[in-house]
């Protein structure tokens, strides 16, 4: 199993390019199934493990998918041979649940194994099921599979989500864009990736309005066609490099971003005394002093993203004063705290709250990535710590970060990947 070994204490300088957004790409790939004719040419697909899993699932289903250089993927979905998706790849990732909405929307039947994803708390899909049922589908759960079918077709409906759910909002959009009549999703998620998927579907000929607000209106259309599309940049990868620049007292230009998507993170860094300069499609983060403690509460967009909470916790662990972090989306998203404590952090978790008393410096240790962003948080800790940090279970990080050690090395970090006990420098 791969490990990342980091010699801490190097300030990060230079430029880093942000890849396409994981949580948009993993929805747009299954959304391409909805094309009735023509090819989907999608650019800026990140080179990450979750994308490879999804591509393999789709290829196994008979879909013609070629992944070309530089994040370009070409898809002809109409060679599909089955409406059933199963196997290890489906069960290990979260976003395989989007195959349900896409298959149901196009073929009116779908059978998909229960999804996996980060172990960050209970991850129900009741709102997805409620949405499919409101559109007229019969949904059953048997032998580890979710089966949805609508032999008489899907009909538009008004759906009020009981919780703001990214997955349910996107899955309902996928199922509804070819349903008969109008679907309205109320209390919809407003994340940039929700908007990106709506824009992709509209480029295919769908009629979706209101994405980015909490009311989305979908007027069903008869046919969708392939299109050319470019996935938005990953706001969480960008946030991760923003934190890495701040914690190492570096100066980094983070390129290929949409600064608007980063506003909640930018505001917190400025509150901490970090310098942030916004340009048109890049953001420069520099820091010349120890950041100040702040309080953070995770919320659905445009609030502070839960997915960047763990990297920020690392930064707060070496900031001056006491910070309170409230995680209000996932009840199990503090697993990185025990690992940070191995590095000397002074953090107490009480239910949804972490109380962090900043220390001067972390000390390197062997720590385990328990999930994707916990892994990123520990890499960031290693960059700032005194001595050597070894982060194990790197496969979690590889799910969502493209070439993390390569990008950090280019910024001056001392980081190597150890594979099967052999070190390699790419």
**Can you say how many angstroms the Cα of residue 213 is from the centroid of all Cα atoms in its chain?**
20
Tokens of 302: 């445009």
For ligand UD1, which residue of 166, 201, 244, 262 counts as binding (CB under 6 A)? Answer: 166
For ligand PEP, which residue of 25, 31, 118, 218 counts as binding (CB under 6 A)? Answer: 118
Q: How large is the greatest C-alpha to C-alpha distance in the chain, in angstroms?
A: 64
Q: Give every strand in the sheet of 145-149, ordered side by side.
A: 84-85, 109-113, 145-149, 138-142
For ligand UD1, which residue of 237, 307, 339, 371 counts as binding (CB under 6 A)? Answer: 307
Q: Of 79, 284, 188, which Cα lies nearest the Cα of 197?
A: 188
Report phi then psi at 218, rounded to 5: -120, 115
> Which partner, ligand UD1, ligand PEP, none, binds residue 165 by CB below 5 to 8 Å per kind?
ligand UD1
Applying the rule CB under 6 A, the residues between 93 and 132 that interact with ligand UD1 are 94-95, 122-128
118 is a catalytic site residue: yes
How far is the C-alpha of 255 from the C-alpha of 244, rounded, in Å?
15
Does position 163 bind ligand UD1 by CB under 6 A? yes
Which positions ≥6 away from 6 have C-beta within 8 Å? 364, 379, 382, 383, 385, 388, 389, 390, 391, 413, 414, 415
The helix or strand, by DSSP H or E, that contains position 142, with its residue range, turns out to be strand 138-142
Given 118, 177, 227, 287, the catalytic residue: 118
Shortest Å distance, C-beta 132 to ligand UD1: 11
Q: Tell how strand 84-85 and strand 282-286 pair up.
A: unpaired
* Strand partners for 209: 217
Q: Which is nearer to ligand PEP, 149 or 191 (CB)?
A: 191
Does position 375 bind ligand PEP by CB under 6 A? no
How far is the C-alpha of 168 from the C-alpha of 156, rounded, in Å?
16
Does position 329 bind ligand UD1 by CB under 6 A? yes
How far is the C-alpha of 47 from the C-alpha of 417, rounded, in Å?
17
317, 293 in Cβ contact below 8 A? no
Q: Tell me, residue by residue from 69 to 108, as one string, x for binding to ligand PEP by CB under 6 A and - for no binding.
A: -------------------------xx-------------
Asked if residue 235 belongs to a known ligand binding site, the reply is: no
Shortest Å distance, C-beta 8 to ligand UD1: 27
Does position 297 bind ligand UD1 by CB under 6 A? no
Q: Which is nearer to ligand UD1, 237 or 307 (CB)?
A: 307
Q: Which is nearer to ligand PEP, 149 or 237 (CB)?
A: 237
Q: Tell how strand 182-186 and strand 158-160 pair up.
A: parallel
Q: Kindly list the residues in this chain that would bind ligand UD1 in the complex (CB under 6 A).
A: 23, 26, 94-95, 122-128, 163, 165-168, 189, 306-307, 329-330
Which residues are known to be catalytic?
118
Q: Kindly list the residues in this chain that would bind ligand PEP in the complex (CB under 6 A).
A: 22-23, 94-95, 117-118, 120, 307, 372-373, 400
Binding residues for phosphoenolpyruvate: 22-23
């Amino acid at each position: 199993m791969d490990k990342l070994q980091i010699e801490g204490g190097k300030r990060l300088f230079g430029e880093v390019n942000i890849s396409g957004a994981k949580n948009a790409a993993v929805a747009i790939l299954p959304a391409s199934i909805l094309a009735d004719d023509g090819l989907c040419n999608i650019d800026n697909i990140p080179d990450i493990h979750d994308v490879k899993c999804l591509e393999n699932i789709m290829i196994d289903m008979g879909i013609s998918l070629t992944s070309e250089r530089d994040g370009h993927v070409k898809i002809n979905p109409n060679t599909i041979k089955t409406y059933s998706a199963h196997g290890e790849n489906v069960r290990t990732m979260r976003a395989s649940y989007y195959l349900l909405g896409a298959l149901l929307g196009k073929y009116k039947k779908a059978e998909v194994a229960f999804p996996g994803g980060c172990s960050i708390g209970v991850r129900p899909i009741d709102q997805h099921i409620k949405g499919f049922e409101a559109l007229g589908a019969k949904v059953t759960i048997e032998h580890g599979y979710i089966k949805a079918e609508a032999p008489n077709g899907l009909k538009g409906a008004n759906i009020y989500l009981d919780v703001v759910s990214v997955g349910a909002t996107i899955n309902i959009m996928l199922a509804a864009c070819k349903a008969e009549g109008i679907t309205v999703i109320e209390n919809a998620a407003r994340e940039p990736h929700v908007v990106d998927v709506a824009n992709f579907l509209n480029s295919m000929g769908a009629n979706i309005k209101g994405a980015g607000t909490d009311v989305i209106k979908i007027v069903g259309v008869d046919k969708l066609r392939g299109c050319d599309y470019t996935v938005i940049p990953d706001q969480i990868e960008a946030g991760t490099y923003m934190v890495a620049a701040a914690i190492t007292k570096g100066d980094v230009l983070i390129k290929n971003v949409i600064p608007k998507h980063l506003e909640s993170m930018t505001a917190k860094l400025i509150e901490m005394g970090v310098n942030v300069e916004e340009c048109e499609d890049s953001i420069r983060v520099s820091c010349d002093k120890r950041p100040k403690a702040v309080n953070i509460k995770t919320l659905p967009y445009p609030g502070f993203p839960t997915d960047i909470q763990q990297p920020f916790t690392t930064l707060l662990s070496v900031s001056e004063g006491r910070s309170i972090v409230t995680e209000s989306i996932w009840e199990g998203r503090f697993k990185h705290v025990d690992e940070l404590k191995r590095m000397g952090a002074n953090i107490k978790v009480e239910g949804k709250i972490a109380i962090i008393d900043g220390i001067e410096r972390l000390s390197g240790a062997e720590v385990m990535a328990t999930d994707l962003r916990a892994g990123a948080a520990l890499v960031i800790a290693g960059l700032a710590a005194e001595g050597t940090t070894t982060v194990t279970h790197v496969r979690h990080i590889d799910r969502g970060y493209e070439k993390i050690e390569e990008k950090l090395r280019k910024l001056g970090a001392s980081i190597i990947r150890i594979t099967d006990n052999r070190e390699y420098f790419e």
